Structure 1
């Protein structure tokens, strides 16, 4: 039973990281400059999970952990705004401003999926806790 709690806890931590990554993407949907002030749009991030063989529950069910948070190298979205101070000055995109290529609908669906997974793991933990409590009351 403790293994089931450990596996669910690992999933909660992983989904929290995923939600933090998604919220960072949404928060930076209009960020046009990097930390140095250069005209470089924010690049969205995404979370990669992997099984955690060090955490195994009954029935050899492994836990999960965050393998990495990757930067998406999508081409930015360009909008023609020649008077904008961050507009490209020369080349193919002259007069265009580069915006982050973040699909808000995709981010919301990912956040909803992560939230549902988070809730499901809390449900598993509640059931495990209830089973343990009932087992102890039977033995007492």
Structure 2
């Protein structure tokens, strides 16, 4: 497996695991467990986890632009990318509606987007060995 293929697979797995973990954690908190008031607070205001995802993607963007090749190809870079993306996608409905719809019917948008991205990522990652063969076959035509 090539380094780019490995990074793609690690990022996809990280996205899937983080999304599932955050969904489980938020349901646990919503059911009355965890911190009083539910979730994270900063200065008395609810702090959404998509903010952590944006910060993670900003950091990974800096690594991809200015980092050494060994840092760009490091598994932790792929893990951070996949996890940060999952944190954002989990609250995508909030970003689309610009209001906290996480537990409402509109919050389903985030789940639908995550399932779609997970399925697309799985299809791409599983097909990685196939894509070079497909490219060669198309060139022969």
Shorter chain as normaliser: what TM range?
A: 0.3 to 0.5
Q: Which of the two has greater helix per residue?
A: 2
Alignment TM-score, normalising by the size of structure 2? 0.47
TM-score normalised per structure 1:
0.47
Richer in strand (by share): 1
For the pair shown, which has the larger CA radius of gyration, 1 or 2? 1
